[in-house]
Amino acid sequence: MNDHHAATLRSMAGLATPMAIRVAVTLGLPDRLRGNGATTEQVAAELELSATALELLLGHLTMLDILERADNLYRTTVFGSALCGDAGNGLTNFLHLDLAGGRAELAFTELLHSVTTGTAGYARRYGQDFWADLTRNPHLRASFDQQMTDRFRDQIPRIVAAYDWSRYSTLVDVGGGHGTLLAAVLTANPGLRGHLIDLDPTASEARHTFAAHGVADRVQVTAASFFDPIPEGAQAYLLCDILHDWNDAHAHLILARCVRALPPTGRLLIIEPVGGRHAGTEFDLAMLVIFGGRERRLDEFRALTAPHGLTLESVTDLTEQRCLLEFRRMPGD
């Protein structure tokens, strides 16, 4: 029994398979080896790789059923085709070591530092925090924006349907990315007007999203940070997957900007995984090592928002991953 446990734990802790898959995606092997496939020597010559080392990688990918080998040719299997760039599942973006998702995941090598200090491991690994890295490397920002869009694509219809957005006439999506969620909300609620705030070039891409959905005449886009002053007077302000990216000190700054803009009868809407409810432990650790954040529990959200004069009015389960927390001002604030 002990030997079995040890073998299981060794398998769980192994880095060879996850890194082999990520390297395969980074090199574009699933795409290159579709169809008729190729020999190790052909691929090594094309990509300027060590043929000996590549053969070791291809052998492991074959064992994983990502590739198959016949007549000295390696070919991508049906299973492995899910790693191709046109698979439409966002995996390439998430796993590629030179795109935002794959690069960020390597911060897990600094998990000991994060657990010791309570701070992100990303800056320790790369010399600057995640957001500074995106600013310095436009291709990382573009891939991060696309990753956020891919993550929400299947959930958006349920998010739109699970909450009564028609209660509001104006909604500000703070840090709304490419605008896919706000566009869907506006499409489903013709009486609603929207305002999206995000940094450029993300904000510019959002304008294209709204035009494509036919709602551009009902939405305004402002290129700004959520640490800057936020336009005042809307009936509702939305923070979707924002606060879990930040430690409490930065989360308070974001909340302060929102509350300053919030009218007395307005609502602050927070959509996120909630710890102990709809948040996975693995994702919780990712928030820590990448951002220094976490998936907060309801009591933590109450503690975080109370100093800003907010009280939790309702919790709506949107999907198996996310909740919507609706906050209003406390009486007298």
% the chain with pLDDT above 70: 98
Catalogue the active-site residues: 244
**Gap between the Cα atoms of 206 and 188, Å rounded:** 18
pLDDT at 325 over 60: yes
The SS3 call for residue 127 is coil
* The two domains 91-149 and 155-279+292-329 share their CATH topology (first three levels equal): no
Q: Token pair 């198996």 is at which residue?
A: 320
Q: How confident is residue 333, by pLDDT bands cut at 50, 70 and 90?
A: low
Correct CATH for 91-149 of 3.90.1150.10, 1.10.760.10, 3.90.650.10, 1.10.287.1350: 1.10.287.1350
DSSP helix/strand/coil, 168: coil
DSSP string, 229-250: ------SEEEEES-GGGS-HHH
pLDDT at 112 over 80: yes
**pLDDT computed for residue 207 by the predictor:** 95
Residue type (1 letter), 236 = A
* pTM of the predicted structure, to 2 decimals: 0.87
Per-residue buried b or exposed e for 59-81, using 16+ beta carbons within 10 Å of the residue's own CB? ebbbeeebbbeeeeebbbbeebe
Using left for φ > 0, alpha for ψ between -120 and 50, and beta otherwise, residue 73 falls in beta
Instruction: Label residue 185 by pLDDT band (50, 70, 90).
Output: very high
Question: Per-residue pLDDT tens for 39-98?
Answer: 999 999 999 999 999 999 999 999 999 999 999 999 999 999 999 999 888 899 899 999
b/e 119-142 (16+ beta carbons within 10 angstroms → b): bbbbbbbbeebbbebbeebeebbb
Specify the pLDDT at position 283. Answer: 85
Banded model confidence at residue 332, pLDDT cuts 50, 70, 90: low
pLDDT band for 279, please (50, 70, 90 cuts).
Answer: low
Cis ω for the linkage preceding 201 (within 30 of 0)? yes
- Kind of pairing, strands 219-223 and 323-329? unpaired
The residue type at 49 = L
Torsion of CA 230, 183, 322, 245, to 10 degrees: -40
Q: What is the DSSP string of 25-77?
A: HHHTHHHHTSTT-B-HHHHHHHHT--HHHHHHHHHHHHHTTSEEEETTEEEE-
Lowest mean pLDDT segment, chosen from 7-16, 20-29, 141-150, 267-276: 141-150
pLDDT value at residue 331: 80
Using 50, 70 and 90 to split pLDDT, how confident is the model at 119?
very high
Enter the DSSP assignment of 324: E
How much is the average pLDDT of 137-153? Answer: 86
Q: Which residues, including other chains, have CB under 8 Å from residue 326's CB and lie 6 or more apart?
A: 267, 268, 269, 312, 313, 314, 315, 316
Provide mean pLDDT across the span 103-130: 96
Buried b (16+ CB within 10 A) or exposed e, 177-216: bbbbbbbbbbeebeebbbbbbbbeebbebbbebbeebebb
Exposure b/e, 144-164, CB count within 10 A at least 16 = b = bbbbbbbbbeebbeebbebbe
Q: Which residues pair with 311 in a beta bridge?
A: 328
Residue 153, pLDDT score = 79
Task: Tell me the average pLDDT across 13-37.
Answer: 96
First to last CA, the chain: 61
Torsions phi, psi for 327 (to 5 deg): -115, 145
Tell me the CATH architecture of domain 2-83: Orthogonal Bundle (1.10)
> CATH assignment of 155-279+292-329?
3.40.50.150
Q: Do 2 and 10 contact (CB within 8 A), yes or no?
A: no
Backbone angles phi, psi at 296, to 5 degrees: -80, 150
Task: Name the token pair of 52.
Answer: 């000996």
Residue 1 has pLDDT above 80, yes or no: no
Q: Where do the structural domains in the chain lie, given as residue ranges?
A: 2-83, 91-149, 155-279+292-329
Q: Are strands 267-272 and 323-329 parallel, antiparallel or unpaired?
A: antiparallel
Residue-wise pLDDT for 189-245, tens only, equals 999 999 999 998 889 999 999 999 999 999 999 999 999 999 999 999 999 999 999
pLDDT of residue 278: 67
Choose between 271 and 4: higher pLDDT: 271
